[in-house]
Structure formats: structure tokens, C-alpha cells
Amino acid sequence: MLKLTAEVAERIRAHGAQSYPYECCGALLGSDGPEGRDAWDLVALENFRQDSPRNRFLVRPEDVLRVEKAARERRLDLIGWYHSHPDAPARPSEFDREHAWPWYSYVIVSVEAAQPRQMSSWRLTDDRRRFESEEIVAQLGMPG
């Protein structure tokens, strides 16, 4: 289960709408525990994909390092990634599966005609053969 605050969910949707007709991408910061994952914040990233940004995204290695550092500074963990699917369903593609890592949560927001629609979350199985759906639950604000 992935718990998203209303603010984090809205920021993902807004990033997807702002980036339309191209894919947006970013990192989810939070904590992983026995009750599921809590996404408390995000880091919006630039999509560096040059050849097909409408249906692919690219996160550079230096961005991953920057996100990991930001998470440590906030005493959070890098728990996942998000991206948009312009004019496509909020389901992972085969390309998504080939480039994903097990353990992380992958949030996808469908954006149709610059309007964010369905949002879903997925986890890649350890054998990397398929994604499994991960329930998204609304979370209250970050604990005091």
C-alpha cells in the first residue's frame, strides 16, 4: 500500500498537466514500514529524453544522486518514482518494466488533453517479469 498526502498527489497531477504533451517524471520521498509506504514529499525532475519525450522519460544518474541526498537531508527515504502517460492509461508499459527496479513504488498519472485523470501505483516483482498493482490510500499530513 502507498499512502499519499493530498498535497503530494496534487503536485504529481499538476506536474503531469504542466508537462503535457510530454511525460513528466520525479521522485517520491517518504518512509517504508510494516503498514505500507508513506510518501511525504516529492522532487520534480526534468525529463531529459530527447528522442521521444511524449512517451518516454529519462532520469539522469546525477539526478538520482541529488534525490538521494535530498531525502537524507529531510530524514526520508527514496521510496519510488512517478511519471505521466500523456493520452494513455495509467498502466506501466513494457518499456516501463524494462527500465524499472524492484522494491520501488511507481506512480503513473494519466493526462488527457492536459487534464490529469487516473493515478495508479505499481511495484515490479523481484524477478522483474511483471508489475503488481499497489493500492493508493489518501494520507493525512506529515506527522509532527
Domains in the chain (CATH in brackets) are: 2-139 (3.40.140.10)
pLDDT in tens, 58-115: 899 999 999 999 999 999 999 999 999 999 999 999 999 999 999 999 999 999 999 9
CB neighbour list of residue 123: distance below 8 Å, 6 or more residues apart = 102, 103, 104, 105, 106, 131, 132, 134
Share of the chain above pLDDT 70, in %: 97
- Among 14-23, 47-56, 76-85, 97-106, which is the least confidently predicted range? 47-56
